[in-house]
Structure 1
Amino acid sequence: MATFAFDDRHITWRTVDGFDHAAYHILNVDENARIVDLLFKFAANERIALHRHGAAYRTLVLQGELRIYRSDGTLKEIRPVGSYVAGQAGGEPHTEGGGNQDVIVYFTNRDIDGPVYEILDESHAVIATFGMPEFKALFEAQGARGA
């Protein structure tokens, strides 16, 4: 079921080469508090890379529905617009994506002490990480190019 569109006309979405079906906009990186706040937009009816969370997080679905898939591809959970979830570091590897429309989700990652996200291959080996240094660099690059 489609939901009202979140007005993102004033958000400049960014992408990372090699990470299909996902765009981001970093809201803040606070190294002292060990927090990264950002928005993700995941494409409708697509899935992002297999990953695991390395930091505690909170999510709020702003548009669409967030679909969570187990690493074997089975649907684990659907979070409709307005869903708020508090999660801990670790957990099972998974993919995520939008339902029948692009999903926009606010993520706040907290108590960061190492990787925020570990990107995994099919055998669950870590192929990339995003931690405070990577988010700080992306945030600074984003600021240099404007909002």
Structure 2
Amino acid sequence: MSAHTFDDRSIIWRKLEGFDQISYFIYDVDEKNGTADFLIKFVPNEKIMLHRHKASYRTFVVQGELRIFRLNGELKEVRPVGSYVISGGNGEPHTESAGEEEAIVLFSNRNIENGEIYEFLDDSGNIAVALGIAELRALFDAQKD
């Protein structure tokens, strides 16, 4: 059986300033129901900033593999293509990256409370950037232009 690559030619990937390791495409932001769904494309072998998920979420690895690293840099988990994982919010801080090839992962955030989705942390563990539902809504609205 041959391997298939996700055809993302119809997706217009966007970048977030300061996050060179990823691109994103937002499918939906629903403040009323506390949900946000988007794709993240990870550059191979480049970790995203240390962060914590504040809302519960589901991931589906569409292409490649998603690698998750503990606070100390130790590899915690590898999620291969096709993996579907349900996680609660307020978990341990971690970093993520693709493996040897680009990874595309669907993130479906649920039960977003107080508008909080992610806390990106500095080297001391302090919140450097918070990304919530209001910021995602603004990115989603700008994506339509």
**TM-score normalized with structure 2 length:** 0.95
State whether residues 14 and 25 of structure 1, in contact with CA within 8 Å, keep that contact through their aligned partners in structure 2: yes
Deviating runs (4+, > 6 A) in structure 1?
none
Deviation at 1:115, TM superposition (A): 1.6
Alignment of 1:56-135 (within 5 A): 56-113=56-113, 114-135=115-136
Unaligned runs of 5+ in 2: none
State whether residues 20 and 49 of structure 1, in contact with CA within 8 Å, keep that contact through their aligned partners in structure 2: no
Deviation at 1:4, TM superposition (A): 2.8
Deviation at 1:77, TM superposition (A): 0.3
In 1, the alpha carbon distance for the partners of 2:95 and 2:7 equals 25
Match of 1:20 in 2: 20
SS at 2:141's partner residue?
helix
State whether residues 66 and 97 of structure 1, in contact with CA within 8 Å, keep that contact through their aligned partners in structure 2: yes
Deviation at 1:75, TM superposition (A): 0.5
In 1, the alpha carbon distance for the partners of 2:44 and 2:19 equals 15
Q: Which amino acid aligns with 1:118?
A: E
Unaligned runs of 5+ in 1: none
SS at 1:138's partner residue?
helix
Deviation at 1:46, TM superposition (A): 1.0
Deviation at 1:32, TM superposition (A): 1.0
Deviation at 1:45, TM superposition (A): 1.1
SS at 2:93's partner residue?
strand
The CA RMSD measured in Å over matched residues stands at: 0.8
Alignment of 1:47-62 (within 5 A): 47-62=47-62
Q: Which amino acid aligns with 1:132?
A: I
Residue by residue over 1:60-101, the C-alpha shift from the partner in whole angstroms, topping out at 9 and shown as x without a partner, is 000000000011111000000000000000111000000010
Residue by residue over 1:19-68, the C-alpha shift from the partner in whole angstroms, topping out at 9 and shown as x without a partner, is 12011000001111110000000111111111000000000000000000
Q: Which amino acid aligns with 2:76?
A: K
Aligned length: 142
